[in-house]
Chains A and B, each alone.
Chain A
Amino acid sequence: EIVMTQSPATLSVSPGERATLSCRASQSVSSDLAWYQQKPGQAPRLLIYGAATRATDVPERFSGSGSGTEFTLTISSLQSEDFAVYYCQQYNDWPPKTFGPGTKVEIK
């Protein structure tokens, strides 16, 4: 089973600032990496797939990069609605399609 790790666990950012979230896989997942956003009391929402492709209706301020074992989600200028928990997920070698533990982006 591929183990996903994320850092940091919590990221404190001021509105308008840039946020950089990291995700690491225990073995190569090529570009088979997705990012999800989850706000309190809501279901997760697909943001990025294929490591770098934005899902439908996802704002351009969200961008993904990386391949192999190291991945990054960047939010270029944080808006109030972006404060949430972000999960990465690999789908290269499954089952299971494993998720990372999440990074909480909070208001500084």
Chain B
Amino acid sequence: EVQLVESGGGLVQPGGSLRLSCEASGFSFSRYKMNWVRQAPGKGLEWVSYISPDSDRTIYYADSVKGRFTISRDNAKNSLYLQMNSLRAEDTAVYYCVREGGYSSGYNFDYWGQGTLVTVSS
């Protein structure tokens, strides 16, 4: 069974930092593209960042987080990370770890974690 379990969320002051982790199991993590997607309270979904599975580590960020957030992965530990610096109130959201599936899902977001809440407030 595919599982994605996020951790690391919490309350942080504006300007602070937080590192989210996502532990994957039930599939060959190293073969899959991974993403972070967030959802502000009562709002819609916003894609945050993408990382390719392989050594060239193609990485993309939403403009809203570029220069502040860093995505990374450790395939040996089946883990995905999101380092978030210079946090702002508008970064308050549930952050989902999301797998980008293969052919059977049209290479879309086929598995999501349960999410971890990040609250940026003084």
Contacts and interface: CB of A to CB of B under 8 A. Distances in A.
Nearest to A4: B44
Interface string B85-111: 000000000001000010011111110
Q: Is the interface of B mostly helix, strand, loop or mixed?
A: mixed
Interface string B44-60: 11110010000000001
Contact of A99 (B46, B106, B112, B115): B46
A44 B108 contact: no
Interface stretch (A17-25, A66-74, A76-84, A89-97): A89-97
B114 interface: yes
Interface residues of A, number: 24
Contacts, number: 59
Interface residues of B, number: 22
A43 B61 CA distance: 21
A53 B45 contact: no
A100 interface: yes
Given A43-B113, A43-B115, A96 B105 contact: no
Interface in B15-63: 44-47, 50, 60-63
Interface in A19-63: 34, 36, 38, 43-46, 49-50, 53, 55-56
Contacts of A45: 112
Contact of A53 (B47, B106, B112, B115): B106
A14 interface: no
Given A43-B96, A43-B113, A46-B110, A102 B47 contact: no
Contacts of A38: 45
A46, A55, A102: which has the most chain B beta carbons within 10 Å? A46
A44 B110 contact: no
Contacts of A100: 44
Closest 3 CB pairs of A and B: A49-B106, A43-B112, A95-B60
Given A36-B109, A43-B115, A87-B45, 16 more contacts: A34-B109, A43-B112, A44-B45, A46-B105, A46-B108, A46-B109, A49-B106, A55-B108, A56-B110, A89-B109, A91-B107, A96-B63, A97-B47, A100-B44, A101-B44, A102-B44
